[in-house]
Amino acid sequence: MIDGSSNLHKVITPALEKETLEAFLDFLGISYIDGRVISTRNVEVYKDSTNDVGDYYVNIFDGFFHIRFNVFYNVFDGDFTVQLHKTIDALKKAKNRPIDDKHKRTRMKVYSE
């Protein structure tokens, strides 16, 4: 941009501490505890899992924002992505498509407490 600022549309980090993820989600009013997403916000949550036991991705959609992180045996595994989808079509595609062909996407319940 001309004023020196920029628009950030996607952040990917392969190594993020569990405490950092928890603090980020807490900042947004979202908690992930023992495999449950807890929030009073209007979020949609999906789980991308394979036939492998214990390894899955959690996808949280809050408006046009998509937050994804990897969980291995109910412990955050460090893989973390935040993406801003630019259009409603891009958002719908992201909600309906698992991370890859090996994973199956299912909707998760969001708990208020």
Judge whether 53 lies within some domain.
yes
Q: What's the count of helices (H) and strands (E) in the chain, helices before strands? A: 2, 9
- What is the predicted pLDDT for the residue at 26? 95
- Percentage above 90 pLDDT, the chain: 52
Domain count, the chain: 1
State how far the Cα of 64 lies from the Cα of 83, in Å rounded to an integer: 8
35 within some domain: yes
69 or 78: which carries more pLDDT confidence? 69
Domain-located, residue 5: no
- Whole domain around residue 105: which residue ranges? 10-111
Q: Is residue 4 part of a domain?
A: no
Q: What is the mean pLDDT of residues 42-56?
A: 85
In which residue are the tokens 């408006």 written? 63
Contact (Cβ atoms closer than 8 angstroms) between residue 60 and residue 66: yes
Q: What is the pTM of this model?
A: 0.85
Using one digit for the tens of pLDDT, what is the confidence trace for 70-105?
887 556 667 889 999 999 999 999 999 888 888 899
Specify if 2 maps to a domain: no
